[in-house]
Amino acid sequence: MAVNYNGDIQFWGGAVESQSMALDLLSPPNHFATSLLDELGGRAWLIRDPDGSGHLVSSPRLQSLSDLLMRQDSDHEAIFLATGRGSGTLFAAVIHSTRRGQAQGGVRHCAYDSVEDLLCDGLRLARTMTRKNALAGLWWGGGKGLIARVPGDRADDADFRRCLYQEYGAFVTSLRGIYVAGEDAGTRPADMAEIFRATRFATCIPPERGGSGNPSRMTAEGVVAAMEAGLLFLEQNGLHGKKVVLQGTGNVGSAMIRLLLDRGVRQIVASEVCADRREALLDRWSGAPVEIRQVREDDPSILWEPCDVLSPCAMGGVLGSKTIPSVQARMICGSANDPLENELRDAAALAQLAILYVPDFVANRMGIVSCGNEQYGFIENDPLVHRHLDREWPGGIHQTVLRICEESRREAITPLEATLRLADAQAQQTHPIWGHRASRIIESVIESSWASAG
């Protein structure tokens, strides 16, 4: 389809193709990439109709993508899809909002069963990034990058990864700054260096390339700061003497162990799916009050361990109707993005159990704070970064947690609802210099016949 921003829409090729040739949202992502998307020229887009009535797609064969967004009650500005020519991998950039600036968010490299699973993950995470950036006072919008992991061991091959991430970087470049990539689940610092080879629209660049590097340690600092604020609200006087449970000991979870021990916690119980990582951590913390249990990926039992603070630090969607009734924690505060299966429903369920839930996009902001503005230069112990950990700064994590908890109690709403009010209000502010310029970049990309240039 071609779009005229005076409101006229023209479909290429006359009649809409048969349904059998349309996008099957239940198909595996890389099958879609090497079949339908390749037939469409290797690229496709969906944008919100400027009049707000629905969505426009680059081909009638993608109508089911528009239908998906309608079912999700989506207010996202755009989705861009492409096939990596050398890797045969499906790439996506999901753009939620660019009011506060270019859409920024990490590149998630994960396995997905279907195109629908991939897109729903991107829609959810991009919206969260809008809220996280707005709450942190950053002049960035919200977006998410997605790379569908190929089956088998190929994704761990060094040569393949170099090709894959350079291709993704070229994809980001083609979007002209609508989306700015960062590090996320499944993406390594070396991968960000490869993305940076192909685009300037990237953050979390390794220090040897002039960037701030892996943001995991700073993310851990922020989550622990949020824990302390939540415990203060509960009149629990900090982490000293408390039992903390960590679901996941990846880059952030493992960094939290040292921070928690430094604060005098009584015990840390953690789960880990990788046997080698578990053994390495047990060796490192031998003699400390740290227990690490090896579990299967589908084992949620760590969530039910009695504790003062439960900290989900793995993947999202782990707290829902099947797991919440057995949670035995006074507070939930972790680094995982979107740990609730259904935000409003599950936040209400936790409140009914008198469990304080600190929303993830309040607690885990330090990753984006530490690397988001690195193109303006990098400073060791940057005061503009570290003020977010200052207990007295009104815009910092500590004061923000206290503010949303107090509003929750005053208004008889959940802390999530209080956080959403604050974040969504701030997300409506436009960039003080550039306004909503990124929306015009989206238009210019579409007008340049981007989908047919793949």
Closest CA relative to residue 314, chosen from 296, 330, 331, 290: 296
Give CA angle at 166 (162, 167), nearest 5°: 115
* Alpha-carbon span 386 to 87, nearest angstrom: 39
Identify whether 243 is a catalytic site residue: no
Is 309 within 8 Å of 245 (Cβ atoms)? yes
Alpha-carbon dihedral sign for residues 286, 289, 291, 292 = negative
Question: What share of residues in the chain are helix, strand, coil (percent, to 5)?
Answer: 45, 20, 40
Strands 90-97 and 141-148: antiparallel
- Tell me 263's DSSP state: T
**Annotated catalytic residue, options 132, 144, 242, 243:** 144
The token pair that represents 172 in the structure block: 């980001």
To 10 degrees, the CA torsion angle through 182, 131, 358, 337? Answer: -40
List residues bridging with 431 in a β-sheet: 435
Backbone torsion region of residue 332, taken as left when φ is above 0, otherwise alpha when ψ lies between -120 and 50, otherwise beta: beta
Element spanning 420, H or E: helix 415-427
3-state SS of 122-177? HHHHHHHHHHHHHHCCCCCEEEEEEEECCCCCHHHCHHHHHHHHHHHHHHHHHCCC
Strands 243-247 and 267-272: parallel
Is 247 within 8 Å of 302 (Cβ atoms)? yes
Active site residues: 144
